[in-house]
Amino acid sequence: MAHDLSTAGITGPELQWNLSNDQLKLLAIRNKEGTAHKSGALTIYTGKYTGRSPKDRFIVDTTPDVHWGDVNLPFPEAKYKSLQKEVAEYLSKKPELFIIDGFAGADLEHAQRIRVVCERPSHALFIKHLLRRQTHLHEKPDITILCAPGFLAKPESHGTRSEAFIILHPKDGTVLIGGTEYCGEIKKSVFSLMNYLLPLKGVLTLHASVNVGKKNDPAVFFGLSGTGKTTLSSDPNRKLIGDDEHGWSDKTLFNIEGGIYAKCIGLTQEREPLIFDGIKHGAVVENVVVKDGEYDFHDASLTENTRVGIPLEHLSNVETLGTTTHPRTIIFLTLDAFGVLPPVSRLNADQAVYHFMSGYTSKVAGTERGITEPKATFSFAFGEAFMPLAPLVYAKLLGEKVRKHACNVFLVNTGWTGGPFGVGKRMKLADTRRIVTAVLEGELDTGGYRNDPIFNVEVPLLCPGVDTTILNPSETWPNKEAYLKKAHELAGMFKQNFKRFKDAPEHLVKAGPQ
């Protein structure tokens, strides 16, 4: 079969198929898309868009089973077809295009064949790292993504919200991306499609990291930005399966990706050696300021959302096959800036589903303009922005799998103790690491548990190596009445948020704060 892009409506350009990392890096430098760093990484800047643009993400309105709303915005199919034709015509006028063929999913039974057609070699290099790699071209891809950052949409004629657009058409197996140079849009488009396709086949998709110890005891770490997911799952005593996206089938727990897309802000070798040491030949470093030839990972003048794309092969202590057995432990990470959640609590199956659906963390002052006090944030499945189906589809799968495989589930708070943000202090990373180790080793069961009457969870009475005082938040606050007021305030937020799940059964509602 002749390999071309005529089925995508693209004819004319010279097609560069699956070039090597070196070739793509040199071409990106030639095109002035980025510069070479002494580490061997490619440094790029993404201009106006330094993060995802969720209000510019759409799903074609003929797609069945989509949970339409503020997250999943419909886009008319006729408008999509017209825009698709214009994007193809735009790409056809380029002298060359860069195509990457790869897989999403380490478990080939559930993998999708992905083809990404890139206007820029820097984007091709990035997505080559993030997809599972292969040595041949797809005869027929399951999903084709056209990435045209130079194509700026006209909202009045194209039907978009702005010049940027990310439009998914799962039935056709196509995606259009234009008007934005941010690499994360490509990665998250693939994940969104997997979150649509796999759960309909009984495979739960997870916005979480996974590692496994020497006892063949896989652990899943859920957590929104800032909760410590990458830091805590990068354990020198446990092999990393993957950092961000996974599938859980009847047979395996598997990585969807072939690399990691890690935040760089505040990066140090001490806190995250896996990522720090992985920034080398061919890595794509995005929006990090370079000073005197060195990366300044503490400079947020361009964006707080500085990033690096790294292939798994660059990382030490990683299981590159990307598959493992069913998890023994599931950990929900939350950063509670109100300072009232226990640093660790045990959840039964219903409570696990409740907190999975809640996806709680908090934003603190300084993270966004206008936030002067802690702001509770609830993101279903710890990744609501990428979940096209109804919440109960994912929640039902999680509950079934937790029960079937007798998973131990814990909620770990990496936020504040002794008072809210600005009054108390952040949990010590050493204490949190010790707590996570105790969870994974089953050490918390030896001292027994108490029930927290406000948050309706079981809190361990002892954790080896950790001061028992911090296990009970009320004991760390100098003013007990202030603690109770703040705890009831947060419990009320949980209850109010859960009301949006109108079809949630009563036993799940009762599993949350009462």
Domain annotation covers residue 64: yes
State whether 357 and 492 are in the same domain.
yes
State whether 415 and 273 are in the same domain.
no
Which pLDDT does position 351 carry in this prediction? 98
Burial class (CB in 10 A: 0-12, 13-18, 19+), 62: middle
Closest CA to 247 of 358, 323, 173: 323
State whether 50 and 195 are in the same domain.
yes
Domain annotation covers residue 225: no
Domain annotation covers residue 35: yes
Where residue 304 sits, what CATH number does that domain have? 2.170.8.10
Which pLDDT does position 291 carry in this prediction? 95
Which pLDDT does position 514 carry in this prediction? 83
State whether 40 and 72 are in the same domain.
yes
Residue finishing a domain among 201, 223, 247: 201
State whether 370 and 269 are in the same domain.
no
Domain that includes residue 87, residue range:
6-201
Residue-averaged pLDDT of the chain: 94
Domain annotation covers residue 75: yes
Which pLDDT does position 134 carry in this prediction? 82
Residues of the chain with pLDDT under 50: 1-2, 365-369
pTM of the model: 0.95
Closest CA to 153 of 131, 178, 174, 128: 178
Cα Dmax for the chain: 74
Where residue 405 sits, what CATH number does that domain have? 3.90.228.20
Taking only the tens place, the pLDDT of each residue in 101-155 is: 999 999 999 999 999 999 999 999 999 999 999 877 888 999 999 999 999 999 9
State whether 101 and 134 are in the same domain.
yes
State whether 280 and 369 are in the same domain.
no
CA distance 100 to 429: 39
Which pLDDT does position 1 carry in this prediction? 38
State whether 337 and 439 are in the same domain.
yes
Closest CA to 55 of 38, 69, 34: 69
Domain annotation covers residue 255: no
State whether 289 and 347 are in the same domain.
no
Torsion of Cα atoms, 485 then 489 then 491 then 496, to 10°: 160
Where residue 194 sits, what CATH number does that domain have? 3.40.449.10
Q: Which amino acid is it at 6?
A: S
Which pLDDT does position 123 carry in this prediction? 98
Taking only the tens place, the pLDDT of each residue in 430-468 is: 999 999 999 999 999 988 999 999 999 999 999 999 999
CA distance 469 to 429: 16
Domain annotation covers residue 104: yes
- Centre a 10 Å sphere on the Cβ of residue 474 and count the other Cβ atoms it contains: 13
Q: What is the number of structural domains in the chain?
A: 3
CA distance 243 to 315: 11
Residue positions annotated with a catalytic role: 52, 188, 207, 225, 229-230, 244, 307
State whether 297 and 332 are in the same domain.
no
CA distance 437 to 433: 6
Taking only the tens place, the pLDDT of each residue in 417-430 is: 999 998 999 999 99
Which pLDDT does position 371 carry in this prediction? 54
Domain annotation covers residue 253: no
Taking only the tens place, the pLDDT of each residue in 294-335 is: 999 999 999 989 999 999 999 989 998 999 999 999 999 999
Which pLDDT does position 234 carry in this prediction? 87
State whether 166 and 307 are in the same domain.
no
Which pLDDT does position 365 carry in this prediction? 47
Residue finishing a domain among 314, 345, 377: 314
Domain annotation covers residue 143: yes
CA distance 49 to 30: 22
Residue finishing a domain among 153, 181, 201: 201
State whether 296 and 376 are in the same domain.
no
